[in-house]
Structure 1
Amino acid sequence: MSWRPRLVALDIDGTITRVGAEEIAPAVRAAIHRAVDHGAHVVLSTGRSLIGTRPIVDDLELRGTTAICSNGAVWWDTTSREVIRKIAFDAAPTVDALRGLFPGAVFAVEITGVGNLSLGRFPEGDLWGVVREVTAEELTAETTSRLVMRWADRTPDEIALRMLDVELPGVTWWVDNTEPWLTVSPEGVTKGSALEDLRQRLGVSEEDTLAIGDGHNDVEMLRWAAHGVAMGQAPATVQEVANAVTATVLEDGAALELDRWFAA
Structure 2
Amino acid sequence: MRTQTLLAICGLCLSAHAAFGQMRVEPVYSIWDVVLGQPVSQVPDLAVGQIACGTNGGPTGQPLTSFSDFLTCQPEQSGLREIEFNYDDEQDYIARAMELEYRTLQGGTSVFAHPVVVSLLVDPEGVVQGRRIFTDNRISDRERRTAFTLIRNFKARYRDWSLDCADVPMQEGQQPVGNQFIHELCTGHSPDGQTLIAIEASYLRKKGQLGINRETQEVNTGYFESQTRYEEVLSPYVPVTEP
Q: Give the TM-score band, short-chain normalised.
A: under 0.3
More helix by share: 1
More strand by share: 2
TM-score, length-scaled by structure 2: 0.24
More RCO (CA 8 Å, sep 6+): 1
